[in-house]
Chains A and B, each alone.
Chain A
Amino acid sequence: MIYFDNAATTPVSLSAQQTIQYYNTVKFFNPSARYNVAGDVFMDIKQAREQMANLIGADDSSEIYYMSSGSESDNFVLKGAIRSKKDRLIISATEHPAVYNTAIYLKNKGYDVQIADVNKDGSVNIDSLSSLISPDTRLVSIMHVNNETGAINDLKCIVEIVKSKCPQALVHSDGVQAFGKIKVDVSKLGVDIYTIGGHKIHAPKGIALTYIKRGVNLNPLIHGGGQESGVRSSTENVSGIMALSICAQEIVANIDKNTANINQIRQYICDEFVKNIPDLHINQGDNYVPHILSISIPSIRGEVLVHCLETEGIYISTGSACSTKKGISRIPKAIGLSKQLAEGTIRLSFSGENTLQEAQEFCDRAINYVKQLGDFRRK
């Protein structure tokens, strides 16, 4: 199997599997219980929280809140920050559906939601964003790395612009596709809120965290027993929290090594595709993570290539897995691709586990299919 869809999800690492097993069978206690063994679990979570705070450059572990998914985190941030009808929310046109559709939900409820234009690589257009910042801006939510093109948004610059025009505005970033691929330091970036998901970095599905700078208050989405300081009630997903911590440390420790490997893979695929397929379009700008490679091929439909390759045990994506059920992804349209190019867009996404040999095999098969399929396009 060749798996080039790591931006959709990743296999759970061995260390995470062992951690999950341990915290579901040996240390399975509810951390809120009063006996000592449960107290141990509570302390383990405390330690994990401190590790995560250190890893992302938070001032204090009390700024780390565990949630069930990146989507929950994004929902919580947007719905928890926007309180009155005059509060303005600004997002970009290429946000993940968890932010985009939540913003549209709020807009339909009558809230002031503005959508900034994007550049051709999918990053937010700073001038457009800047023009939307009003004195009533309450929250600006801009993803750190775009999940379909890999474009990196310059968060530090965005925070400076937002704060200079509206000091009390909060800046949130969905960093689900960034964490573990580029170095993330929330203090240096200056963001108020930051979202990290587990299953994109070899932790299991069902665990995510939200960094919330001390002093920032958001209304909870889930009320109940008061866990996570009342910000997100629910019995803690202990095994998920512990596995996230292990995976986060592993991936951060290996960022440079993985990036060098992935750069090689990416370069090889780009070279082979450009050499063998005419008129293709690589959707990248100047600042991107190599882990995500978006290619538009006018002579085919991306979905057909995906199905051809799956018969060979090669897994890639058309758009993001979260949005393919809705038909053609919103993102290729937002970055100005023609309908033909949008239909012909594929996304490859790599992890540190991928090899150059896989890239070679992928290119052999994929280029061959592209040539065959080109003969059968619609007339």
Chain B
Amino acid sequence: MKKCILVRYGEIFLKGNNISYFEKKLIDNINQSLVGIEYRLVKLHNRYCIVDYDVELEDKIVKKILNVFGIHSISRAYQTEAVVDSIKEAVLALTPKSGTFRVSVNRAYKKFEYNSTPFAAELGGEILTKNPSLSVDLHHPDHIISVDIREKNNVFVFANREMGLGGMPTGTAGNAIVMLSGGIDSPVATFKMAARGLKIFAIHYHSFPYTSEMAKQKVVDLAKILSKYTGEINLSVVPFTDIQKAIHENCPAEFMITIMRRFMMRIAEKIAIKYGCGAIVTGESLGQVASQTIESINVTNSVVTMPVFRPLIGSDKTEIIDIAEKIGTYETSILPYEDCCTVFLPKFPVIKPKLEIIERAESVLYIDNLIKDAIDKIETIIINN
């Protein structure tokens, strides 16, 4: 027998004829996450098996695989042949030290000599002989030892299950561009949409000298954390100061944020098209700040035709923070570097802007020129974990 890692996929088992497309992406993503590690991936029915790896690297491999979207769970297992003594050896190696247990046998390989139930009972008996202090509980055991007899040379014995992130394999839903600010929300929005299979591109608006190089580095750091889950992220850093200055000089102060966000959306859509993205993702949550009221969202949304995904629109801040902590972005997000949205923040921003008034207010600006200048000066950073 030898050690292996059983990998089960989640939602994609619902797919019909196109399941092979999703499986291929998932396998690519698993392989990508394990670059630099020697192993072999074996395809089984509805699951994969990682074998022939350095056992000392098992924890590292498991950690990386559990960050791959599309995986339901994994089990660290023994792989053996469909031979009674070999299976017994593997089961005994997993004998618990105390408490109650049950042996559960699944016999897909029908040429195996025993039926499931009597074989489970026999294996249970072996365990009790080895450790008489244990007792059997079929209904609510402390430990379940599972024996999965799939093929002649593929029997898996395991006693644990570690849950993955679920979702869909990254890239299966196409590309999207995320507006990554450096706050708490946008990394969480990124994570949630990547979990639905989107390949992530990111865009960040940088207002040097009003925001520091450290504020930009914070966004790079956040993208790096996210890339553990999403794979490589292409980050476009847009110099935004000149646009903010133009708005500040020429438009009423209370419209500053609204007009600024319209510029951000326009630029995001242009970059999205450049990279073949089909949607823009933002971290907006209804009512959280003045720019996230229905009226504000309507006015900022109206400058683009591409769909805008707002996965946090119905979430409250504590829910968002819980996810940020779970995915490891929270600590970086709360570093106190000012982001571009708070630069020139007016004392009284408009909460319910009207489209025609905003359009009239911004009509004094050379919008196309300002956008072209900003896009020409974009800095592109490729981020890998």
Contacts and interface: CB of A to CB of B under 8 A. Distances in A.
Interface of A: 301, 303-304, 306-308, 310-311, 325-327, 375-376, 378-379
B346 A308 contact: no
Interface residues of B, number: 18
B209 A378 contact: no
19 contacts: A303-B212, A304-B209, A306-B209, A307-B208, A307-B210, A307-B213, A308-B209, A310-B209, A325-B335, A325-B336, A327-B336, A375-B249, A376-B248, A376-B344, A378-B344, A378-B346, A379-B248, A379-B253, A379-B256
A304 B244 CA distance: 14
B256 to A, nearest CB: 8
A375 to B, nearest CB: 8
B253 A311 contact: no
Nearest to B248: A376
B338 interface: yes
Contact of B212 (A307, A326, A327): A307
A307 B207 CA distance: 11
Nearest to A324: B336
B374 to A, nearest CB: 17
Contacts of B210: 301, 304, 307
Contacts of A311: 209
B336 to A, nearest CB: 4
- Main secondary structure on chain B at its contact with chain A? loop
Contacts of B347: 378-379
Interface of B: 208-213, 245, 248-249, 253, 256, 335-336, 338, 344-347
B384 to A, nearest CB: 27
Nearest to A327: B336
Contacts, number: 33
A326 B334 CA distance: 10
Contacts of A303: 212, 338
Nearest to B344: A378
Contacts of A327: 336
Given A325-B336, A376-B245, 15 more contacts: A304-B210, A306-B209, A307-B209, A307-B210, A307-B211, A307-B213, A310-B209, A326-B336, A376-B344, A378-B345, A378-B346, A378-B347, A379-B248, A379-B256, A379-B344
Closest 9 CB pairs of A and B: A307-B209, A379-B253, A327-B336, A308-B209, A304-B210, A304-B209, A379-B346, A307-B212, A378-B344
B334 to A, nearest CB: 10
Contacts of A301: 210
Contacts of B338: 303
B76 to A, nearest CB: 41
Nearest to A309: B209
A308 B344 CA distance: 16
Contacts of A325: 335-336
Nearest to B252: A379
Contacts of A376: 245, 248, 344
A311 B212 CA distance: 11
A307 to B, nearest CB: 3
Nearest to A308: B209
A311 B249 CA distance: 23
Interface centre among B209, B335, B336 (most CB of A within 10 A): B209
A92 B279 CA distance: 55
Interface centre among B210, B335, B338, B345 (most CB of A within 10 A): B210
A330 to B, nearest CB: 13
